[in-house]
């Protein structure tokens, strides 16, 4: 049981409900926040998954159908602001593979009034905060004139779709487009294949001296090289700023070198994760054995089919299966430390927390 005035919006909703003498302005958002899934924000939902999620309908701006809003944000933010007249439920056919991100997503800094996308954790949060501020401002005016909010919506509607950042990849069925530059020799340290989303391309490349060099349509390459879903190559703010600086100074070589360092660190991190996984599996089995959770007669053993592909030179899995618990745990700890180092290195390159 929790107090129903503890939601971020509920005090505001209560005030508005008292002002308007309408109990629903407070009550319906509370119901929505208790009965709808949290906002999927930048990760969004694949439209093909929506029927299984049993989610109530999403909404979009009547005038800007590309601005889509999840049931939670509609049920809370829009209702509290009494801005329902601007929205309509999305009734078009679902397109499996198309990713539905919420354009009213909450940001980590809910009091920010910045109109600069780079001041937010990602550009979906920027859109959400910018629209929330506009709707809330209009709602607080005496005659509830939402014209300024519609101007903000018009601006947001004119932007390319939000980058998925590190949190979301896109398959070909998403119909997302990708732009950039394809290196003739991807191993050349001074050249690199960069496949970026429309939004990052617009931020870092458009109207710079390198626009032509970095504007090849690489949509086909993006999906053929990452059939499970392409992640934007310049998702972090560091990448975007570095690429823009490189474009402005006509120095793509500088960005290519940074790109290779970043990729090498990421590959190293992935490799170390793959190496650690079987050791952790063995540690879990040792724990199960000690605590009597392992069926009698069963021994500590790896499912080699699962690990063969990941086993790397230097890691003799059979040896670790037979090793004493003490040796195994010392090796696991050593590799965990190493992995943390790689993770810190990777994070510092992208300058993320
Ligand atoms: Zn939302
Ligand atoms: Zn991007």
Convert the pLDDT of each residue in 138-179 to its tens digit. 999 989 999 999 999 999 999 999 999 989 999 999 999 999
At 170 the three-state DSSP class reads: strand
pTM of the full predicted structure?
0.83
Residues with CB under 5 A from ligand 1 (ion): 39, 70, 73, 102, 105
Of 60, 194, 197, which Cα lies nearest the Cα of 122?
197
Residue 287: count of CB within 10 angstroms of its CB: 12
Separation of 161 CA from ligand 2 center, angstroms?
Answer: 9
Euclidean distance between CA atoms 45 and 106, whole angstroms: 16
Q: pLDDT, tens digit, for every residue of 44-53?
A: 999 999 999 8
Residue ranges covered by each domain of the chain = 10-159, 166-250, 259-350
Separation of 235 CA from ligand 2 center, angstroms?
Answer: 5
For the CA of 72, the nearest ligand: 1
For the CA of 102, the nearest ligand: 1
Separation of 285 CA from ligand 2 center, angstroms?
Answer: 41
Separation of 37 CA from ligand 2 center, angstroms?
Answer: 26
Instruction: Report H helices in the chain.
Output: 10-20, 24-35, 50-53, 71-73, 79-80, 123-140, 147-157, 198-204, 219-225, 237-248, 252-290, 304-307, 317-322, 325-350
At 165 the three-state DSSP class reads: helix
Separation of 54 CA from ligand 1 center, angstroms?
Answer: 16
Separation of 303 CA from ligand 1 center, angstroms?
Answer: 41
Separation of 216 CA from ligand 1 center, angstroms?
Answer: 33
Asked if 290 contacts 282 with a C-beta cutoff of 8 angstroms, the reply is no
> Could you tell me which residues are beta bridge partners of residue 181?
194
Position 232 confidence tier, pLDDT thresholds 50, 70, 90: very high
Separation of 57 CA from ligand 1 center, angstroms?
Answer: 12
In terms of Cβ atoms closer than 10 Å to its own Cβ (0-12, 13-18, 19+), residue 21 is exposed
């Amino acid at each position: 049981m929790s107090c129903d005035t503890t939601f971020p919006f509920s005090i505001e909703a209560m005030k508005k409900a008292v002002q308007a003498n309408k109990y629903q302005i407070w009550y319906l958002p509370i119901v929505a926040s208790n009965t709808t899934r949290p906002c999927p924000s930048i990760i969004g939902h694949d439209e093909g998954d929506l029927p299984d999620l049993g989610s109530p309908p999403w909404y979009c701006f009547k005038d800007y159908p590309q601005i889509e809003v999840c049931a939670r944000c509609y049920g809370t933010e829009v209702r509290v602001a009494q801005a329902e007249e601007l929205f309509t439920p999305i009734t078009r056919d679902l397109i499996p593979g198309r990713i539905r991100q919420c354009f009213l997503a909450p940001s980590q800094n809910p009091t920010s009034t910045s109109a600069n996308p780079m001041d937010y954790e990602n550009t979906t949060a920027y859109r959400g905060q910018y629209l929330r501020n506009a709707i809330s401002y209009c709602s607080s005016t005496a005659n509830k004139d939402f014209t300024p909010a519609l101007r903000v919506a018009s601006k947001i509607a004119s932007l390319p779709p939000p980058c998925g950042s590190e949190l979301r990849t896109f398959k070909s069925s998403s119909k997302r487009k990708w732009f950039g530059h394809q290196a003739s020799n991807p191993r050349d340290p001074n050249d690199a294949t960069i496949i970026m989303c429309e939004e990052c391309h617009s931020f870092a490349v458009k109207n710079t001296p390198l626009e032509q060099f970095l504007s090849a349509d690489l949509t086909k390459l993006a999906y053929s090289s990452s059939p499970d879903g392409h992640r934007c190559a310049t998702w972090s703010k560091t990448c975007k700023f570095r690429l823009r600086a490189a474009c402005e100074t006509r120095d793509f070589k500088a960005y290519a070198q940074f790109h290779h360092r970043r990729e090498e660190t990421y590959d190293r991190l992935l490799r170390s994760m793959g190496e650690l996984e079987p050791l952790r599996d063995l540690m879990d089995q040792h724990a199960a054995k000690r605590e009597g959770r392992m069926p009698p007669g069963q021994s500590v053993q790896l499912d080699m089919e699962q690990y063969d592909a990941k086993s790397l030179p230097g890691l003799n899995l059979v040896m670790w299966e037979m090793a004493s618990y003490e040796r195994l745990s010392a090796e696991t700890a050593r590799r965990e430390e190493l992995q943390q180092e790689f993770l810190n290195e990777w994070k510092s390159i992208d300058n993320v927390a």
